[in-house]
Structure 1
Amino acid sequence: MLEHCVDPVRAVEKIARLIKPGGRMILTAPFNSLTHFAPYHYATGFSRYFYEYHLDRLGFEIEELTANGGFFDFMDQEIGRMARVRRIYKAGWRGPLTVIFSQLFRLNARWLAEQDGPRMNRRSSELQCLGWFVVARKAA
């Protein structure tokens, strides 16, 4: 939801004020995303460091910070979007080689993702992931 806030830092600050001491805040946002729900898509790039910095500053202790996938999951997702993006933006002819190569790249990305550890604990998640799940408790 943070990517749809004009000022995501201010949004987190406002949510933090509403939570009682000892209460929990649950947040999730994509680490990187294509524009969606336009024109109400204002921000992207919510890394673990965004949450660590701002939640600590607001008096929250992070209880859980879990990445959704890793770099290779992200590549699989984006390669999977190629045909749709090509159609929308009329980006040329979709020949058999385009289909074959995109499917081979996706299979390779999926295989590499499996080698990268469990989906919710991929080693490459700090470099790139699909998003973060955060549970933080406000100091008593």
Structure 2
Amino acid sequence: MRNAETWTETKYVLRNGQLSSSDDPAEVGVGSRLISNLVAAKYFEGLKLHASGRLLDLGCGKAPLYGVYKTLATEVTCVDWGNSLHQTTHLDREADLTQPIDLPGQAFDTIILSDVLEHIPVPLDLCREIARLLAPGGKLIMNVPFYYPLHETPHDFYRYTEFALRRFMETVGMRVIHLEPIGGAVEIVSDIVSKNMVKLPIGGFFAARAMQAVAWWFARTRLGARVSKKTSAQFPLGYFMVAERPR
């Protein structure tokens, strides 16, 4: 990764032995901290279980997951498009992810695709590129939003069900080894309400922060966990997936 020595925590921070959302509103809006915390937890466990070898961070932005995978990978390559809304300090290569990527086939053991696929107009093309770039036995680790507002417009094209994600992987010859919803009805309600609360001219920031804190607490009670689990199949806030290129 280019300029690895200058890398600093951005969207995610390591805190008390866990990966969590940043409290910096310049990195994560107060209305997005709940989903950011949920996604961070999935990556923290998923990377430790599945990341290894030569790692490619596709659509890397500020490489917010580098703090976790830097000790798991033997080599890190960061790729993003040059007109990214995020800083490109750590880019090893600029690439339009809607086009074939100028990297050799079977060159990577791990590919990360974090909050990227919804911004690709022809997603199956990128999935084919990922399958080409992965070595046999290599793994894709990714997440996508589902019940989530439009963002980075006009480059926000799709929301995917678990069935679409499975079909993409099957079509390009990869095997899904882990796919789970992120959050359920509790988290969706909190996300929608807090993102609108924060727009209030007086007290919006604090109201949104309180709403997210209450939802985070409730989802970890016995009742809240049951509600989230029972509703996550039909009302997921997003998905986390690990897929493998067969050996």
TM-score by length of 2: 0.43
Which of residues 155, 164, 174 in structure 2 aligns to 1:60?
Answer: 174
Tell me which residue corresponds to 1:19: 134
- Give 5+ residue unaligned stretches, structure 1: 88-93
Closer/same/farther in 2, CA of residues 122 and 13 from structure 1, 3 Å limit? same
> Which whole-Å CA distance do the structure 2 matches of 1:31 and 1:113 have between them?
21
Closer/same/farther in 2, CA of residues 6 and 68 from structure 1, 3 Å limit? same
> Which whole-Å CA distance do the structure 1 matches of 2:216 and 2:246 have between them?
41
Aligned residues: 124
Q: Give the structure with the larger strand fraction.
A: 2
> Which whole-Å CA distance do the structure 1 matches of 2:226 and 2:180 have between them?
12
Tell me which residue corresponds to 1:117: 225
Instruction: Give the C-alpha shift of residue 66 in structure 1.
Output: 2.2
SS at match of 2:136: coil
Tell me which residue corresponds to 1:134: 241
> Which whole-Å CA distance do the structure 2 matches of 1:29 and 1:125 have between them?
14
Percent identity, please.
Answer: 21
Closer/same/farther in 2, CA of residues 75 and 113 from structure 1, 3 Å limit? farther
Q: Which runs of 4+ in 1 moved over 4 A?
A: 106-114
> Which whole-Å CA distance do the structure 1 matches of 2:171 and 2:224 have between them?
32
Which of residues 195, 204, 214 in structure 2 aligns to 1:81?
Answer: 195
Which of residues 63, 71, 87 in structure 1 aligns to 2:185?
Answer: 71
Instruction: Give the C-alpha shift of residue 65 in structure 1.
Output: 1.1
1:38 aligns with 2:153: yes
Closer/same/farther in 2, CA of residues 58 and 136 from structure 1, 3 Å limit? same
RMSD: 3.0
TM-score by length of 1: 0.71
Q: Deviations over 1:112-138 (max 9, x none)?
A: 78425379x722111111211111111
SS at match of 1:79: helix
Closer/same/farther in 2, CA of residues 113 and 71 from structure 1, 3 Å limit? farther
Q: Deviations over 1:47-72 (max 9, x none)?
A: 21111122122222212112211122
Closer/same/farther in 2, CA of residues 113 and 8 from structure 1, 3 Å limit? farther
Give the alignment of 1:88-107 within 5 angstroms: none
